[in-house]
Copies of this chain bind each other. A is one copy, B any other.
Amino acid sequence: MHKSYIKDAFMDLQDHICGRLEALDEEGKFLEDAWERPGGGGGRTRIIQGKHIEKGGVNFSAVSGDMPEKITKALNIGATEFFATGVSIVLHPKNPHVPIIHMNVRYFETTSGLWWFGGGIDLTPHYVDDALATDFHKALKTTCDKHDSDYYPEFKKWADDYFYIKHRKETRGIGGIFFDRLNEERGKKEDLFNFVSDVGYAFPDLYANQFESNYQRSFSEQEKEWQLHRRGRYVEFNLVWDRGTKFGLDTDGNIESILMSLPAIAQWTYKYKAGEKEQLTLDKLKKGIDWAG
């Protein structure tokens, strides 16, 4: 399986997802910024500011070049060239009853022969709806189980641990799946690609279910305010703890593309008091909840 095959598949995935999201939004269209990386490769950043999706990005990139020395040292390998391609998505809805969602699929290889896939999907409801959280995790489990029954429990735990706002002692949302460094030790490249591809194509269905259940629901000022504070937490996670964001900011990446994950507007209030209903959500921002049952 040549890297160009994976790259093309990821571009197709981006197209497919953008089409589905535009249909959900009813009005918004993605605007594309094609960019090139001075060291090699480039990407297609696509941003939507829609009727229902307040701010969203569906980004594709495929970059290559000399591997930074910092990384060859960390990987304990000699000088080599790398190739990395992926699709990254974050969607911030207008309606606080619709969750924030994040998806990423990625592939990495070096000319020295290393390769792996990574990715994940996680959901950040402003208000946790148990039935929808269960839907989400069950669908992820179904996608995983088609490939390996060990995947869901392993990658669900990985997501709980990864999407954790350590300084707030709370998870970012209700988790999902997260995986990295899936290589020849975990399966054949074709099989792993098929898994990652299934995760990518599962995304629009997963999101449509969350979106359609609530996008027409009315909401109060208090619910909107709560949403803006939850977005504040999202900003905190992404800027303080997210490894991908940190890596991008440290290595002079495409800043506007990396920070598309930040919401249009976020709010911080000293010791903001959650109401009773909001407290029900806070109580569920914990690791280890068995949503898939």
A246's nearest neighbour on chain B, judged by CB, is B240
Q: Do the beta carbons of B268 and A262 come within 8 Å of each other?
A: yes
From the candidates B248, B255, B260, B263, name the one contacting A168 in the complex (CB within 8 A): B255
Q: Which parts of A234-260 form the interface with B (CB within 8 Å)?
A: 235-236, 239-240, 246, 248-249, 252, 255-256, 259-260
Q: Which of B264, B269, B271 contacts A269 (CB 8 A)?
A: B264
Interface size class of A (residues with CB under 8 A): 20 to 34
Report whether B265 and A264 are in contact in the complex, using a CB–CB cutoff of 8 Å. Answer: no
A2 at the interface (CB under 8 A from B): no
Instruction: Check A267–B264 contact: CB distance below 8 A.
Output: yes
Measured in the bound complex, the distance between the Cα atoms of B228 and A269 in whole Å is 15
A167 at the interface (CB under 8 A from B): yes
Residue A33 is within 8 A (CB to CB) of chain B in the complex: yes
Partner of A263 from B45, B256, B268 at Cβ < 8 Å? B268
A57 and B45 alpha carbons, distance in the complex (Å): 38
In the assembled complex, A91 has its CB within 8 A of some CB on chain B:
no
A37 at the interface (CB under 8 A from B): no
Q: Is A266 an interface residue (CB 8 A)?
A: yes
The answer to whether A41 has its CB under 8 Å from any CB of chain B is no
In the bound complex, do residue A271 and residue B249 qualify as a contact, i.e. CB atoms below 8 Å apart? no
- Docked CA distance A239–B168 (Å): 14
**Chain B residues with CB below 8 A from A239, complex form:** 235-236, 239-240
**Does the CB pair B263–A265 fall under 8 Å?**
no
Chain B: which residue is nearest A249 at the CB level? Answer: B167
Q: A239-B236, A239-B240, A262-B232 are in contact. Are A270 and B256 (CB under 8 A)?
A: yes
CA distance A255 to B240 in the complex (A): 13
Tell me the complex Cα distance, A86–B229, Å.
29
User: Does any Cβ of B come within 8 Å of A166's Cβ?
Assistant: yes
Which residues of A come within 8 Å of B, CB atoms?
33, 45, 47, 55, 57, 166-168, 228, 232, 235-236, 239-240, 246, 248-249, 252, 255-256, 259-260, 262-271
10 A-B pairs closest in CB distance: A239-B239, A167-B249, A262-B268, A47-B270, A265-B267, A239-B240, A256-B271, A167-B255, A260-B270, A266-B266
17 sample A-B contacts, Cβ–Cβ < 8 Å, listed by A number? A33-B271, A55-B268, A57-B270, A167-B249, A235-B235, A235-B239, A239-B239, A239-B240, A240-B240, A240-B246, A256-B270, A259-B268, A262-B268, A263-B268, A264-B267, A265-B267, A266-B268
